[in-house]
Amino acid sequence: MKNKKVTVTIAQLNSGNVIEIDPKMVWVPLSADGTELDPVTLYPIDIQIINDTGAILLTNFILNEDDYADYQRVVDDGALALDDYYAFKRTPNNTVLQSDHTNFPRCYRFLIKGSGTATKDATIEFINYR
């Protein structure tokens, strides 16, 4: 099973800024004779959030390249707080966001920000890549 662990630092959480995490993983499969085949881009099925930071974590995710370009436009226009589609949601302290292939089919970018004062780092684990 392929997994990826990311630490979001106290400083990042306390900055009040949105932290963008690129969860993709590039895997290079090998043929039967050991020759490298074309690289494959994988995305996680689940995201585990471990929050014992003391702060509230607000999260969202972007599904694809087009949504990411639109998100960047909204940010550049200074309208992020006004846009419901990119609204951040409060995440329980320890939770797993699971793909149901409808609401969360692929996590192209994971967005997180802290609210309040963090006293520890947060751990984000992208799990079950495919």
Q: What is the pLDDT of residues 8-18, one digit of tens each?
A: 999 999 998 99
Q: What is the pTM of this model?
A: 0.83
For the beta carbon of residue 53, count every other beta carbon within 10 angstroms.
Answer: 22
DSSP H helical ranges for the chain = 10-14, 65-76
Q: In angstroms, rounded to a whole number, what is the distance separating the alpha carbons of residues 39 and 30? A: 10
Count up the domains in the chain and report the number.
1
Range of the structural domain that residue 21 is part of = 4-129
pLDDT digits (tens, 9 = 90+) for 10-48: 999 999 899 999 999 998 888 889 899 999 988 888 889
